[in-house]
Amino acid sequence: MDLFELRLGMYATGPDARALADRARRLLDEHAASEASPVTAWALSLVGGGRPAGPEGEGEPTVAGLYEELPEQWRVEHPGQEPGERTVTELRVGVLGDTGQLRELLDALTALACPDPVHPGPCPVPWSAGFSEPLDEESRARLESRYGHLRG
């Protein structure tokens, strides 16, 4: 078992971001309870746009900087409309599990943001997703510092 971090950036209102996080918690609980799931343990957090994107802090881009295309995407897809209370937020999920099925779990999380990827028109909540895995000692140390507590 290894540690991974799934990241879902979104340009959403606070209530929309919290609702997506609640759906993600339910999904992760289901995965952790299943014998066939790659997930053994998980930790979820919502990170605001002004926070550093990485654990180092100083000199790191902010979460908003990491997903700077999302507000612009919303403006292009909603010409003349005001974004209201939307802000860039990142859903971070630390996972202890099997690397072989990590992509499936990320796909399941992104489906919470956009259940039908071929829908007409723009997504109501622009989003972008990715993941971090322990490819080298530096990335392994970063994941351990954030999510080592998942090892129990």
Compute CA 61 distance to the chain's CA centroid, rounded to the nearest angstrom.
Answer: 16
Whole-angstrom Cα distance, residue 132 to residue 140?
Answer: 9
DSSP 45-103: EEEETTSBSSTT-TTPPBHHHHTTHHHHHHHHHSTT---TT-EEEEEEEEEEE-GGGHH
Sketch out the chain's domains with CATH numbers. 2-151 (3.30.70)
pLDDT bucket at 5, cuts 50 / 70 / 90: very high
Provide the pLDDT for residue 119. Answer: 83
Helix axes 14-33, 102-113, angle to 10 degrees: 150
Strand order in the sheet with 87-97: 39-48, 87-97, 2-12, 127-132
State the maximum Cα–Cα separation within the chain, in Å, rounded to a whole number: 50
pLDDT in tens, 52-105: 887 665 567 899 999 999 999 999 999 999 999 999 999 999 999 887 778 888
Residue from 147, 129, 143, 125 nearest 18 by CA: 125
- Once rounded to an integer, what is the mean pLDDT over residues 129-143? 91
Q: Residues 61, 53: contact at Cβ < 8 Å?
A: yes
Q: What is the pLDDT of residue 47?
A: 95
